[in-house]
Amino acid sequence: MENFFPEELIEEVKDKNDIVDVVSQYVQLKSMGSSSKALCPFHNEKTPSFVVSREKQVYKCFGCGEGGDVIGFIMKIENLDFTEALKMLAQRANIYIDELPSSHEVKEKLKKQQLYYEVNKLAGRFFYNNLVQRKNPALEYILKRGLTTRTIKSFGLGYALNNWDDLLNHLKKEGYKEEEIEKCGLIIKNKQKDGYYNRFRNRIMFPIFDIRGNVIGFGGRVLDDSLPKYLNSPETAYFNKSETLYGLNIARKNCENGQVVLVEGYMDVIALHQQGFKNVVATLGTSLTKGHGLLLKKYFDQIILCFDGDSAGTKATLRSLELLQNVHKNIKIILLPKGVDPDDFIKKEGKNAFQRKINEAVSAIDYKIYLAQQKYSLNTMEDQINLGKEIASIIKEIDSPIEQEAYIKKIEEKTGISKDAITREVYGRKPATDIANNTKYSSNYKRNNKYIEAVPLVEQKGHIIATKQLIKYMLTNTHFIVSIIEKFNPEDFILEHHRIIFEFILQNQQNIDALNKILDYLPKVENELKDILQIDIQQIDIEQVVEKYKKDVQRYKLLYQRGKLKEKQNEIMQMENLNKEEVEKQLLKLGVEMMKINIELQKLQSEERREQN
């Protein structure tokens, strides 16, 4: 008896054995874009010349010339013949091969498969002709959604008329039996079991293609309020929803930099494709499965999730992340506005805006932190504490200590909760870092100069220059003193000698002679006064200087308060007489105060940006 493997079985085995995964079990691969490189296992070499392509599913050594597909690799590395290598890979992919089939069995199987493809292809043409050859509500709906005739043709969209047997009769005229059409999932036996009727009626039809471009099923969307809104073909030996992605046959050939965008629905795929984004796929109205994840891993290096901007989309994103992180490491998430789906977004905002969204896509950790921040208003201490704890629990998920450290620093800047408090919450212990050695604040001025030691040096300089300009203006334009001093008090000046000068002006605002001879009255600050009197104020706008200075005063007071809070946090960390709960309680309390200060600082920055614009 002649024995051989059918081509379809061989393709199935190769499809379910990603060459990068298989080869990496034998050699240490290093990723290089869409390919991977290693030292060749088939000859001795010091410089890697062995390349594996995930996109093409082949390997090639440019040193010894060896190359081929995943079956060829196993044959070579394991010293097996074709049959043994195929069986080994089939077992790895849980594909059961009992025994080699006879030529008759193979021919029968191939005949059934070919019939399945032919019937579904004819059905697809029938639906397409229904859509484009006459005026109908489906075409009106599709055109209203902004799809072009070219897009309709590219995806083979169609229309199942509100008719019980037109498709059935059409396929029977083409020579196919009712039993054969039923096995393709296109018709259903009636209750009396004496006849059949169309499965799809009054629906827009979306043909579903396998990776090789065969029509393996359909998705149908209603035009009215009837349920279900979407109806898929039943699963068959050739159509498995858990291992099929809509648009994959196009996306795998059009992925730039190994990127794929995963969306929720057919229309999202089609709308993005029409705008030039051809690397887009969707599940078939089902949740993401491990099978989908393995497919994505096989063909793409990076997955970008883009689900609807609503609560359901958020839940779907979190479920997908949980599944994908077990099979794929490079995952990003696009943040869409609330209540907006990808189809709506690209129609309203355009191609460039969506590309920016892709470029700005966030990591899984950033996405979870973003969701945590959306949950809490931060108006109460309870909210602020809960946010800190939730963020700490998210950071615990990170494997890399370096990445953890980066996120802890980022969260400190965003929320005001100290790095030490977050670290203790994450690790449950006191951090080893000597915080005192890492202070970012200047100590160039005496500590009794109020908050100067807590202000960054670069910002001190700009503030001090503005202070000097303000004092010089009052001394040389005495008629403006009254209007200026109404807006300030001595405590607003960060340097002690500037406070002394301002207090003298305040006390002698009506004594012009004293103001003109200020150097005689204030010998202790003579040098500073001389420096102030030499400063150039010809080009300044006093009203702008005053307004800017008022905001500077507010900002520097806040910076000072924040610096002091950091000092307190450091002191608490060094207290050995406090138990863990008391330390955490005090650190969280200080963190909440710091968060309020950060919010005020952000408000000031926003006001300044608005004024600049």
Comparing 523 with 273, the larger pLDDT belongs to: 273
Task: Kindly report the CATH class assigned to 102-239.
Answer: alpha beta
Q: What digits encode the pLDDT tens for the residues 78-90?
A: 888 888 888 889 8
Comparing 17 with 541, the larger pLDDT belongs to: 17
Alpha carbon distances (Å) from 96 to 93, 233, 301: 9, 25, 29
Cα–Cα distance between 90 and 13 in angstroms, integer?
Answer: 6
pLDDT of 5 higher than 80 = no
Place of tokens 């000859």: 43
What is the length of the chain?
613
Q: What's the whole-number mean pLDDT along residues 192-204?
A: 94
Contacts of 216 (CB under 8 A, 6+ apart): 116, 117, 120, 208, 209, 210, 233, 236, 238, 239, 244
pLDDT of 335 higher than 80 = yes
Mean of all residue pLDDT scores within the chain: 83
Q: Which pLDDT belongs to residue 611?
A: 62
Q: Which pLDDT belongs to residue 591?
A: 75
Cα–Cα distance between 68 and 60 in angstroms, integer?
Answer: 7
Q: Two tokens at 540?
A: 């300044």
Q: What's the whole-number mean pLDDT along residues 227-248?
A: 92
Nearest Cα residue to 280 out of 355, 218, 205: 355
Q: What's the whole-number mean pLDDT along residues 112-125?
A: 94
Q: What's the whole-number mean pLDDT along residues 274-295?
A: 92
Alpha-carbon 136 to chain mean position: 40
Q: What's the whole-number mean pLDDT along residues 2-15?
A: 75
Q: Two tokens at 470?
A: 């303000």
Q: Which pLDDT belongs to residue 93?
A: 84
Comparing 245 with 5, the larger pLDDT belongs to: 245
Q: Two tokens at 165?
A: 């047997």
Cα–Cα distance between 503 and 175 in angstroms, integer?
Answer: 104
Nearest Cα residue to 548 out of 459, 444, 443, 420: 459
The letter for the amino acid at 194 is D
Cα–Cα distance between 452 and 422 in angstroms, integer?
Answer: 27
Phi-psi region of 94 (alpha: psi -120 to 50; beta: other; left: phi over 0): left
pTM, two decimals, is: 0.61
**Pair type for strands 230-232 and 259-263:** unpaired
Cα–Cα distance between 95 and 101 in angstroms, integer?
Answer: 15
Q: Which of 46-50, 367-371, 586-590 has the lowest mean pLDDT?
A: 586-590
Alpha carbon distances (Å) from 104 to 2, 34, 96, 107, 115: 9, 41, 19, 5, 16
Task: Kindly report the CATH class assigned to 452-574.
Answer: mainly alpha
CA atoms 148, 152, 157, 160: torsion sign: positive
Confidence band for 413, pLDDT divided at 50, 70 and 90: confident
Q: What digits encode the pLDDT tens for the residues 542-562?
A: 676 677 777 777 777 777 777
Contacts of 309 (CB under 8 A, 6+ apart): 335, 336, 337, 338, 339, 340, 341
Which of the listed CATH numbers 3.40.50.300, 3.90.580.10, 3.40.50.150, 3.30.460.10 matches domain 7-92?
Answer: 3.90.580.10
Domain extents in the chain: 7-92, 102-239, 452-574
Q: Which pLDDT belongs to residue 539?
A: 58
